[in-house]
Amino acid sequence: MNESQQKWTETIDDGHSLFDLKLKEVWKYKDLVYMFVKRDFVSSFKQTILGPIWFFINPIFTTITYLIIFGKFAKLPTDGAPGILFYLAGVTLWNYFSGALLGTTNTFTGNASIFGKVYFPRLVTPISIVISNLMRLSVQFLLFLAVWLYYLINNEIHPNWWVLATPFLIIIMALFALGTGMIFSSLTTKYKDLTMLLAFGVSLLMYATPVIYPVSMLPGYFRSLAKYNPLTGIFECFKYGWLGVGDFSPSMLIISTIITIVLLFIGIITFNKVERSFMDTV
């Protein structure tokens, strides 16, 4: 067979569009995604005494701390919902978002040794991080569900049909973390101190998000401003559906969705652009 008759089974080049996510190629590497998810899960609890039990310990102690500090001392309102359930709902969602965002931000700098040795779609890494954190969310959500059932049986909460929007809320939150994480992961290849700035910024963002307080307690101007935080609509919708309380309107969720799509679009462009030459700067 001469060279003109030979056909390549794989071709690696950097001529792809900035808007191309290579989803077909990512699907071909789905086994690698599974391996990365398994690696993240195992490494989180390797050489620990309690192992996966930490999934429950973290939200339990965080919720108790918030209940004492913000509920008993600061006396922040919970819109009539049981305090422990109100804070547990916020903590459950926040743990997923912050974990997925900070993990995705480390995509290039944390995996440079792997990227420099073997080729695979770089998008595999942030996707696996989002999925591995989704596993943690599912475990912590079981804890929330157990507490929720207790208060439901005792007729202390009145959920509504907005609970059906929960899968959509999680998807939007995951895409928001993915898009924002890809933007920062691209920037940290050149500006490494952004990693520390982001960790500080995420801590501040929690206080700008209705995790420990309801939007209804904010004065008029700040309440209007809070709606432009993509997480506000997600958290308020979740609490409104499951607890039956909150100052929620569908427009808040529409705003969250639009901003998330825009940030994901920007994240795709920056990620694909940096992917071509990041090894020169990491």
Handedness of CA 204, 176, 28, 14 (dihedral sign): negative
Local structure of residue 278 (DSSP, 8 states)? G
Give the model's pLDDT for residue 52.
Answer: 67
CA-nearest of 207, 187, 212 to 198 is: 187
pLDDT of 48 over the 70 cut: no
**CA within 13 Å, CB half, 22:** 22
CA gap 185, 125 in Å, rounded: 11
- For residues 122 and 131, the answer to whether their CB atoms sit within 8 Å is no
pLDDT of 26 over the 60 cut: yes
CA-nearest of 271, 274, 222, 224 to 249 is: 224
- Residue-wise pLDDT for 154-208, tens only, equals 999 999 999 999 999 999 999 999 999 888 888 877 777 777 788 888 989 999 9
CA gap 34, 52 in Å, rounded: 18
- Residue-wise pLDDT for 224-255, tens only, equals 888 899 999 999 999 999 999 988 889 999 99
> Distances in Å between the alpha carbon of 182 and those of 86, 124, 130, 140?
31, 12, 11, 25
AA letter at 135: M
Higher pLDDT, 25 or 168: 168
Provide the H-helix boundaries in the chain.
23-28, 30-45, 54-66, 83-105, 107-110, 112-115, 124-153, 166-187, 194-207, 220-226, 230-243, 250-275
pLDDT of 133 over the 60 cut: yes
CA-nearest of 197, 199, 243, 205 to 226 is: 205
The 10 Å Cβ neighbour count of residue 11 is: 6
Tokens 């700040």, residue located: 222
Greatest C-alpha distance within the chain: 81
Would you state the structure tokens that stand for residue 229, as one six-digit string?
Answer: 């935080």
Domain coordinates in residue numbering, the chain: 20-30+51-280
Mean pLDDT of the chain: 83
**CA within 13 Å, CB half, 175:** 20
Using a CB cutoff of 8 Å and minimum separation of 24, what contacts does 204-210 make?
Answer: 205/229, 205/231, 206/94, 206/98, 209/94, 209/235, 210/90, 210/235, 210/236, 210/239, 210/246
3-state secondary structure of 74: coil
Would you state the structure tokens that stand for residue 174, as one six-digit string?
Answer: 């995951």
3-state secondary structure of 231: helix
